[in-house]
């Protein structure tokens, strides 16, 4: 039975009207136990599948012990344990961690960190990037106008460079890399000087903008 979708804010678009009641591995099931393969993996975030038993058990065990430990007030052991686990696998010099609730919040945090640490105001992003729906993240997003229509003007200090999208340009990866590096250089000479550029933000695999991996050589030169 289709429920009243009119009660949901229209800013949510719906690719399907399927209403899952449970999930298991790659499958979702509706209330009639009809089985669907979730080819979207929850837009690429259910990396361990739906309801992996270990994930379910960890959530159940934690929920029985402590559901809310606000980190400005108390410091739950789980928070420091996660930081320690990340510290073991992240490359130097990354050695401090901040936890957020969503991709947009993580991007906003990264931009704040870059501006604060460098004292510089501007950010360079790439055409077709998607970084989230909050104001700052929207300003960094050029995947589709639908994310920006009705909300402009967005925060300033964002400059857009071409993404190395070989298929779009009709060139090989070498020619695309050379062109995009030159355009980036041009932006640094004509729009935002290195002295006022805090960060360059790129999706190594462009998501919303077309599911396009950047050439390895481009990423090496960018770094
Ligand atoms: C590359 C990228 N950055 C940021 C976001 C925003 O994440 P969230 O929807 O959790 O705010 C997304 C979401 O799809 C994303 O694909």
Name the fold adopted by 5-57. 3.90.1150
Say if ligand 1 is within 6 A of residue 209 CB.
no
- Confidence class for position 5, pLDDT limits 50, 70, 90: confident
Mutate to test the pocket of ligand 1, among 103, 134, 137 (most ligand atoms within 8 A of CB): 103
> Across all residues in the chain, what is the average pLDDT?
95
**CATH 3.40.640.10 residue ranges for the chain:** 103-222
Closest CA to 108 of 143, 166, 155: 155
**pLDDT tens digits, 35-60:** 999 999 988 889 999 999 999 999 99
- Asked if CATH classification 3.40.640.10 holds for the domain at 103-222, the reply, yes or no, is yes
Mutate to test the pocket of ligand 1, among 207, 210, 211, 213 (most ligand atoms within 8 A of CB): 207
pLDDT at 42 (0 to 100): 86
Q: What is the mean pLDDT of residues 97-122?
A: 97
Say if ligand 1 is within 6 A of residue 103 CB.
yes
Say if ligand 1 is within 6 A of residue 203 CB.
yes
**CATH 3.90.1150.10 residue ranges for the chain:** 5-57
**pLDDT tens digits, 177-222:** 999 999 999 999 999 999 999 999 999 999 989 999 999 999 999 9
**pLDDT tens digits, 22-41:** 999 999 999 999 999 999 99
C-alpha torsion angle, residues 94, 127, 135, 158 (rounded to 10): 80
**pLDDT tens digits, 140-149:** 999 999 999 9
Say if ligand 1 is within 6 A of residue 132 CB.
yes
Q: What is the mean pLDDT of residues 7-27?
A: 93
DSSP 159-218: EEEPP--HHHHT--HHHHHHHHHHHHHHHHHHTS-GGGEEEE---SEE-TTT-EEPPHHH
Distance CA 88, CA 98 (A): 15
Distance CA 43, CA 208 (A): 10
- Confidence class for position 1, pLDDT limits 50, 70, 90: low
Q: What is the mean pLDDT of residues 79-108?
A: 96
């Amino acid at each position: 039975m289709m429920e009243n979708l009119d009660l949901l804010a229209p800013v949510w678009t719906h690719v399907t009207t399927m209403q899952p009641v449970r999930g298991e591995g790659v499958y979702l099931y509706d209330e009639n136990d009809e089985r669907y393969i979730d080819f979207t993996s929850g837009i690429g975030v259910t990396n361990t599948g739906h309801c992996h038993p270990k994930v379910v058990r960890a959530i159940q065990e934690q929920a029985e012990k402590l559901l809310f430990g606000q980190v400005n007030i108390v410091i739950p052991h789980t928070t420091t344990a996660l930081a320690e686990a990340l510290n073991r696998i992240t490359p130097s010099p990354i050695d401090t961690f901040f936890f957020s609730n969503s991709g947009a919040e993580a991007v906003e945090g990264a931009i704040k960190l870059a501006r604060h640490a460098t004292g510089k105001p501007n950010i360079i992003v790439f055409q077709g990037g998607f970084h989230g729906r909050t104001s700052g993240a929207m300003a960094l997003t050029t995947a589709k106008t639908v994310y920006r229509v009705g909300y402009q003007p967005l925060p300033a200090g964002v400059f857009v460079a071409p993404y190395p999208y070989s298929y779009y340009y009709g060139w090989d990866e070498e020619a695309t890399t050379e062109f995009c590096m030159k355009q980036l250089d041009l932006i640094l000479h004509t729009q935002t000087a290195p002295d006022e550029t805090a960060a360059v933000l790129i999706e190594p695999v462009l998501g919303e903008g077309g599911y396009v991996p950047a050439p390895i050589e481009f990423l090496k030169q960018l770094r």
